[in-house]
A = this chain, B = another copy of it.
Amino acid sequence: MGLVVQKYGGSSVADAESVKRVARRIVETKRAGDDVVVIVSAMGDTTDELIDLAEQVSPNPAPRELDMLLTAGERISMAVLAMAINDLGFEARSYTGSQAGLITDSTHGKARIIDVTPGRIQSAIADGAIAIVAGFQGVAQDTKDITTLGRGGSDTTAVALAAALNADVCEIYTDVDGIFTADPRIAPAARQVPRITYEEMLELAANGAKVLHLRCVEYARRFDLPIHVRSSFSNKTGTLVVSDTSAPEGEAVEQPIIAGVAHDLGDAKVTVVGVPDLPGKAAEIFSAVAEAGVNIDMIVQNVSGSSRRTDVTFTCPMADGQRALSVLEKVKSDIGFDDLTYDDGIAKISLVGAGMRSHPGVSATFFNALAESGINVEMISTSEIRISVVTRADSAGEAVRAVHTAFGLDGSGEAVVYGGTGR
């Protein structure tokens, strides 16, 4: 008998019928002999509706009060989910983030978890009850005010609680079957990955894969907690995110080189034209941008020719683009550059795989695939387990499919068994 932590997102509990379906799934796990702790998000569009209400009342709601308001969403979903489980003859008790011991800092709207003290959850488990915990929320250590964790907060709650409870696995239920080698909507030949390492998952999440959030994967890696990403609409095995994807003893070993191809259409490209080729100029540019709170992703500086001037190009989230431009415009004369250009018609295509470290041919195959499809590469960036390029946004789909095919990732529509775990 083990302990399983399950997290259900808002789309899995969108209405009364969905809540009952999820309740049956939870009860199945309990009936199979495991203890179960469930983290649940707000039902369907509840959070958006509460934000609408706040906007009707106030143009700029106080962050403390916005957190108080939004946490009503999970309060509703967790209570009705507990009711539905009780109706199936199993005891369920719901707990707010505060009651479950999710201790955070006091940064309302994007609080960080400081500590998890799940005494009441442990008591519930000891009593044989199923604990239902509100995702996305906690209580500030110093002010005792209610906080929300921001984007990916419910996934992070699940992983943090699973780690604190020393759970065997944290199951993240979503509306897809798991992690795929590419987004199936643009690469129909994409197949589900049975296992993936934390590092690969981090690179995929950071480069456009939407299924898991960075924070949650980082947390799981720190505690070496297995995450099982799977669909709440089927009983299929999903994708295990673990520290080591080598096959268990006795199973076929076929370590994949490439985990997947990610794409991201959310970035913009800013070029600072005609920067004096003097030491410290890049530092001036990026200090100014950083002070404006803009997150920089890729940076490229062209080689300076005989002109004594160079161009510096970087990418950042589209939402930060105008802020980056206006802060740079202010320091234009100080830095002494000639011009700024802005381009939000770009896509970032990333190839991720722990296996590429030891396979020198990966880059060549990657660039050949793009070249053969006539796709122009505008920027390049690499890490130990990733190669990313910037292309035109309208060639993103073709680029993903070309790379996916070149690395032999195309499946037959069924997930291929490799690395030891079936679907």
Contacts and interface: CB of A to CB of B under 8 A. Distances in A.
B80 A69 contact: yes
Interface string A22-60: 000000000000000000000000000010011011111
Nearest to A88: B58
Contact of A57 (B58, B64, B84): B84
Main DSSP-derived SS at the A contact region: helix
A76 B53 contact: yes
Number of copies: 2
Interface in A55-75: 56-62, 64-66, 68-69, 71-73, 75
A69 B65 contact: no
Contacts of A87: 57-60
A53 B80 contact: yes
A221 interface: no
A144 interface: yes
A58 B72 CA distance: 20
Nearest to A120: B144
Contacts of A69: 75-76, 79-80, 83
A322 B75 CA distance: 36
A228 interface: no
A94 B65 contact: yes
Interface in A67-115: 68-69, 71-73, 75-76, 78-80, 82-84, 86-87, 92-94, 99
Contacts of A93: 64-65
A79 B66 contact: yes
A82 B68 CA distance: 10
A94 B62 CA distance: 11
A19 interface: yes
A20 interface: yes
B16 A53 contact: yes
Nearest to A81: B57
Interface of A: 16, 19-20, 50, 53-54, 56-62, 64-66, 68-69, 71-73, 75-76, 78-80, 82-84, 86-87, 92-94, 99, 120, 144
7 contacts: A20-B57, A57-B80, A58-B84, A58-B86, A62-B92, A65-B93, A68-B75
